C-alpha cells in the first residue's frame, strides 16, 4: 500500500517536472509554428513513456540504490571504520581515507554508465557522426572522467585545499587540449561535462560529500560539502578529449605502419627490376 502511495507521489512529481517543458513545446508548436506535428500520436505516446520511465527509474533508485549508497558513504567516512583500516599511526592522514577515494571512483563510474541523459547524448553523437563515435566509447570515457573527478574532489575535501585552484588548473588543461584535439570532438566534449550529473549521480555524490565534510576534522558540511559536482562536470571534458586524441593517435600510427609496409613491399618488388 505504501508502495502504491510512493509510486503515485512520484508520478505526480515527475508529471509536474515535465509539465513546464510540455507547455513550452506545445505552446510554441500551436501558437507560433502552427503546423501539424508529424506523428503527433507517436510523439505523445513517447512523452508518456518518458514520464513512466522516469517515474519507475526514480522509484527504483529510491528503493534500491540511494539508501544503500547513502549508508555506505556514511559508513566509509565513519571514524571508527577509518580507524580499523588505517595505514598510518597518530592522527588520521589523507592516505587513511583510501577506501573513500576508491569508492568515489567506482561509484562515479558506475552511476555514469547508468545515467539516462548520457545514454541519450551518446546515441545522438553516434548517429550524427555516422558511427565514428561509439556509444560505449563515449560513455566509458565520460564515466572515467567522472570517476577521476569524484576521487579528486574527495581528496580535496579531506585535505581542505581551496577548490578554485583545482578548477582553474582543470580549465587550463581543457584550453590546451582544445587546441590539440580533433575539431570534431570539441563541442561534444564540452557538452559531456553537463550531461553527467543528473538523476543518478547527484544524490549519491551529495551524500558522499556531506558524509566527508561532516566527519573530517576541521571541515564544515555547509561549505566543504559542495564542490564534488563541479569536479564531476569538469573532468569528463578532459577525458573525452583525451579519448579522441588517443584514438586519433592510434589511427595515425596504424596509418603510418601500413604506409611503411607498403613502402617496403614496393621496395622489395622493385629491386629485381632495377637489376635488369
Smallest distance from another protein to CB 114, Å: 5
Among 114, 137, 160, 173, binds another protein (CB under 8 A): 114
Only one of the segments 68-76, 238-246, 253-261, 262-270 lies at the binding site for another protein (rule: CB under 8 A); that segment is 68-76
H, E, C per residue of 169-216? HHHHHHHHHHHHCCHHHHHHHHHHHHHCCCCCHHHHHHHHHHHHHHHC
Count residues near another protein (CB under 8 A). 100
Does 79 contact another protein by CB under 8 A?
no
Residue in the structure block whose three cell numbers are 515527475: 14
Among 8, 60, 87, 255, binds another protein (CB under 8 A): 60
Are the beta carbons of 145 and 239 closer than 8 angstroms?
A: yes
Roughly what angle, to the nearest 10 degrees, separates helices 201-215 and 228-275? Answer: 120
**Alpha-carbon separation of residue 10 from 52, 115, 162 (angstroms):** 10, 19, 38
x/- string (CB under 8 A) for another protein, residues 224-263? x-xxxxx-xx------------------------------
Only one of the segments 58-66, 88-96, 243-251, 261-269 lies at the binding site for another protein (rule: CB under 8 A); that segment is 58-66
Does 116 contact another protein by CB under 8 A?
yes
Only one of the segments 88-96, 108-116, 253-261, 267-275 lies at the binding site for another protein (rule: CB under 8 A); that segment is 108-116
Backbone φ, ψ for residue 167 (5° rounding): -65, -40
- C-beta of 93 vs 220, nearer to another protein: 220
Instruction: Give the distance, in angstroms, between the CA of residue 46 and the centroid of all CA atoms in the same chain.
Output: 25
* Residue ranges in 139-178 that form contacts with another protein under rule CB under 8 A: 163-164, 167-168, 171, 174-175, 178
Backbone φ, ψ for residue 69 (5° rounding): -60, -45
The Cα 237–Cα 150 span in angstroms is 14
Does 264 contact another protein by CB under 8 A?
no
Does 75 contact another protein by CB under 8 A?
yes
x/- string (CB under 8 A) for another protein, residues 22-41? -xxx--xx--xx-x-xxx--
First vs last Cα of the chain: how many Å apart? Answer: 94
Only one of the segments 88-96, 199-207, 250-258, 264-272 lies at the binding site for another protein (rule: CB under 8 A); that segment is 199-207
Residue in the structure block whose three cell numbers are 510554441: 28
Does 197 contact another protein by CB under 8 A?
yes
Are the beta carbons of 232 and 194 closer than 8 angstroms?
A: no
Does 20 contact another protein by CB under 8 A?
yes
- C-beta of 164 vs 257, nearer to another protein: 164
Residue in the structure block whose three cell numbers are 579519448: 243
Amino acid at each position: 500500500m505504501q508502495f502504491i502511495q510512493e509510486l503515485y507521489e512520484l508520478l505526480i512529481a515527475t508529471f509536474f517536472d515535465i509539465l513546464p517543458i510540455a507547455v513550452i513545446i506545445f505552446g510554441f508548436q500551436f501558437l507560433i509554428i502552427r503546423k501539424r506535428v508529424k506523428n503527433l500520436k507517436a510523439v505523445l505516446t513517447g512523452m508518456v513513456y518518458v514520464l513512466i520511465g522516469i517515474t519507475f527509474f526514480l522509484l527504483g533508485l529510491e528503493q534500491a540504490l540511494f539508501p544503500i549508497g547513502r549508508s555506505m558513504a556514511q559508513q566509509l567516512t565513519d571514524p571508527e571504520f577509518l580507524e580499523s583500516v588505517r595505514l598510518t599511526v597518530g592522527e588520521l592522514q589523507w592516505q587513511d581515507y583510501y577506501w573513500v577515494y576508491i569508492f568515489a571512483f567506482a561509484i562515479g563510474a558506475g552511476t555514469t554508465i547508468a545515467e539516462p541523459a548520457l545514454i541519450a547524448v551518446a546515441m545522438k553523437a553516434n548517429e550524427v557522426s555516422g558511427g565514428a563515435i561509439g556509444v560505449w566509447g563515449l560513455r566509458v570515457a565520460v564515466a572515467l572522467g567522472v570517476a577521476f573527478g569524484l576521487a579528486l574532489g574527495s581528496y580535496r575535501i579531506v585535505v581542505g585545499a581551496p577548490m578554485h585552484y583545482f578548477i582553474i588548473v582543470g580549465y587550463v588543461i581543457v584550453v590546451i587540449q582544445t587546441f590539440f584535439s580533433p575539431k570534431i570532438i570539441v563541442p561534444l566534449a564540452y557538452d559531456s561535462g553537463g550531461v553527467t550529473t543528473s538523476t543518478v549521480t547527484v544524490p549519491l555524490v551529495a551524500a558522499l560529500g556531506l558524509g566527508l565534510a561532516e566527519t573530517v576534522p576541521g571541515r564544515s558540511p555547509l561549505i566543504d560539502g559542495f564542490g564534488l559536482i563541479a569536479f564531476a562536470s569538469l573532468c569528463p571534458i578532459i577525458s573525452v578529449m583525451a579519448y579522441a586524441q588517443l584514438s586519433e593517435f592510434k589511427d595515425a600510427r596504424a596509418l603510418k605502419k601500413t604506409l611503411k609496409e607498403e613502402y617496403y613491399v614496393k621496395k622489395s618488388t622493385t629491386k629485381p627490376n632495377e637489376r635488369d
